[in-house]
Amino acid sequence: MVSTPGLLTTNEMVYCIFSFINPCNLFPILLVNRSWYEIALPMLWKEIGYQYGYLPDCDRLRKVLYSRPYPPPGLQHVQSPSLAQLVLKYCDNITDAAIVNIANKCPYLQHVSLKGCREITNVSVKELARKCQNLYYLNLSGCVSMRFANGTMEMLSSRCENLEYFNFKADDACFENNRNRWLTSHDIQLFASRCCSFIDDSAVYEVAKNCAKMEKINLRYCVGISSQAMIEIAKSCRNLRYINVSGCGNIQDDTVNSLLESCGRLQYVNLSGCVITDNIVHKAKERTRKTLIYVTGCSSISPETLQILEDRRNLYLRNYHWIRNIG
């Protein structure tokens, strides 16, 4: 059917009508005819998941993702107001155009993982923040084209108030120093920002100050942070259960003591490569909750202290044997 500019085609009108129908009542409509099946089916999908390689251009996927019988290849024609979860890992042919289209047509998205999608930029993130305000999970690790600039962080933190999980590998990103306001969603429970030399104490301080509910944080090899940032986390984030600061050479004993004293729920601490000495034993041996501590590369800990910590039933050390051999 040839469509007249400015007028809806038959399929588009049917789609508009279906959009007002409760999803539970759409199931019988699928059986009326093939055309209605192809229009209504994408409206019922809650989750799309694909990983590794190129998103295939196949008939089966076309029926699932597209609102029209013969669309061009790709994800540009997704129409699913019920879609809540989108997982596209390491899909090299996913671009901003596809994500922008999905964000506009799937406003109820809550869980989005674009891990390893090399073509995705801040254009996609800003559109997701603008259109999908129910977003609570966003994984952008490995998005090598990502540039957190021009208010991307600000828009994400101000519009996605329910955001609980945010993950990006920042050595793959480029930050504009002192121009981005860091993520300040009060409900965030995980902040992963691995291998980023741009992250310093002030950035961590702002996140900790505004995210009191945070339970997990991964700052592995963020060499710009020091013990002062970790003390602020311990002071503000009392629900913390997991923290990884391995490779942060400026982290010292006072950080560990503050964490063990303030964070009663702490279960996992990775201090590999940090400046940790025998002073850790004073707070560690007072713990009443089981805690797993990694101390690989902490060569300043003496064998005697390791033995004391190892004998504690509520404390578990991992990867420390080579330290003892050196000592």
pLDDT digits (tens, 9 = 90+) for 25-74: 777 887 788 888 777 776 666 777 766 655 554 444 444 444 433 333 44
C-alpha 160/C-alpha 152 separation (Å) is 12
Which domains are seen in the chain, by residue range?
A: 1-44 (no CATH), 46-188 (3.80.10)
12 vs 219, more confident? 219
Per-residue confidence (pLDDT) for residue 172, from 0 to 100: 38
* Residue percentage of the chain with pLDDT more than 70: 66
The lowest-confidence range among 24-38, 43-57, 129-143, 263-277 is 43-57
Per-residue confidence (pLDDT) for residue 284, from 0 to 100: 61
Q: Which of 251, 303, 252 is nearest to 279 (CA)?
A: 252
The lowest-confidence range among 15-24, 27-36, 181-190, 253-262 is 181-190
* Residue found by looking up tokens 């505004």 in the block: 210
76 is written with which tokens?
């540009």
Band of residue 131 on the pLDDT scale cut at 50, 70, 90: very high
pLDDT digits (tens, 9 = 90+) for 165-204: 888 765 434 444 433 455 666 667 667 676 676 678 888 8
Per-residue confidence (pLDDT) for residue 212, from 0 to 100: 82
Q: Which helix (H) or strand (E) holds 256?
A: helix 253-262
201 is written with which tokens?
């104490």
C-alpha 295/C-alpha 256 separation (Å) is 11
